[in-house]
Amino acid sequence: MWLMMNTAIIIFSITLIIMTLASLLSKKMINDREKNSPFECGFDPKSSARLPFSLRFFLIAVIFLIFDVEIALLLPVIIINNWSKISSWSMVTIFFILILLLGLYHEWNQGALEWAI
């Protein structure tokens, strides 16, 4: 028991020392204005280096990912058809596709699929 506790303390202390040394040695000591600015042929930048990000594009990408995952969930439905009753399989499949279509209609109705405003 004491051997395990001593080993754990030694490992913890070595880890703490290495992490402290790494954080102290990795710091930049000289912060220069030219080094912190974006490179633009040696001249001062004309505008901000950060371009505005379109939230519309982000929303379309998220909707695409959601429907992509839903398509991945639909693929096993075809395989399950061989081992289940046709009535229960069709009810679950129709219910799932109906939920997907309602979600698509809601996104369309809210205007989330419109690229230009």
User: What is the distance between the alpha carbons of residues 117 and 113, in angstroms, rounded to a whole number?
Assistant: 10
pTM above 0.85, yes or no: no
Domain boundaries, the chain: 2-27, 55-110
Q: Could you read off the pLDDT of 56-103 as tens digits, one per residue?
A: 788 888 888 888 888 888 888 888 878 888 888 889 889 988 998 898
Beta-carbon-side half-sphere exposure of residue 108 (alpha carbons within 13 Å): 6
